[in-house]
Amino acid sequence: MAFDGMISDKNQQILAGIAHELKTPLTLISGLSSELQDPSFNAEQYQQYVQRIQFSSDRLLGLVDSILRGYELEQDMLDLHLEPVNAQLIMEEVAHELDPHARKQAQLIAVRSHHKQTILADRGCLHAILFNLLDNAIKYSNPESTIELEARLRRGQAQLVVKDYGAGIKKTELKKLFAQFGRVQRPVPQWASTTGLGLYIARQLTEAMSGSLELSRRRDGTSFLVNLQLSKQLSLFEL
């Protein structure tokens, strides 16, 4: 049997999308490390290249982690550990991890929290959700813009907002974007953007934690809203 026949078209598209997403950090790791062998490099250049390799590896790990969580969810293998989580800390962690990625385009990431209540979430899943949304926001925001991460209360729930300032999503594209979330249809373009996959994973993980992921279009950009339950248990953070 031909190899092609063993994998469905849908899975082939998803695999192609995943592979494409991983190529940029891999290309950077490969290219930067090959240049490190140049004996004419000064200490400053050397340090900069090593930091970029480190960051690219971390980003790669973040992408692989979220893809694996998405796969586990699809296969009903995801083991959720819901516990009181300080969302601001996770937001700061993700912002710190992706900060070098944003700086490439002179973008800033601002983290704000308007409440001190913990939310009920799986720490790893929440990290993967915010990682996907922030990675996506960086990709589609204008250079030199600020991407805002915000925790607020809405209708008795926690709402985590990833707000970007960019071209935004056209109404016609919105329909397509949400179609990508569907379990049956989630086309990943063969060679281009894999946005749908990251957003799909973010949405599925949010729903697995009894939450919801909404999108709000603005004239000057897009906001992704992650709604999750508040934790009733007080954490040290609140005391």
Partner 1 sequence: MNRVLLIEDDAWLSELYCSALAKVSGLEVDRASSASTALEALDSSKIDLIVLDMFLGEHNGVEFLHEIASYQDTRRIPVIILSAVHKHDFGMQPDRWAHYNVVEYLYKPSTKPDQLVGAVSKQFLKDTQKVTS
Q: Which is nearer to partner 1, 173 or 214 (CB)?
A: 173
Site residues for partner 1 per CB under 8 A: 20, 23-24, 26-28, 30-32, 34-35, 52, 56, 104-105, 167, 190-192
CB of 166 to partner 1, least distance (A): 10
DSSP three-state, residue 149: strand
CA distance 210 to 228: 7
Least gap, CB of 172 to partner 1 (angstroms): 15
C-alpha 183/C-alpha 11 separation (Å) is: 12
CB of 24 or CB of 157, closer to partner 1:
24
Q: Which is nearer to partner 1, 105 or 210 (CB)?
A: 105
In the chain, % helix, strand, coil (3-state, to 5) comes to 50, 20, 25
Pick between residue 21 and residue 150 the one whose CB is nearest to partner 1: 21
CA–CA separation, 28 vs 6, rounded Å?
Answer: 32
Considering the complex, what minimum distance in angstroms separates the CB of residue 238 from partner 1?
Answer: 40
| Closest CB 1 distance from partner 1, rounded Å | 22
User: Parallel, antiparallel, or unpaired: how do β-strands 82-85 and 119-122 relate?
Assistant: antiparallel
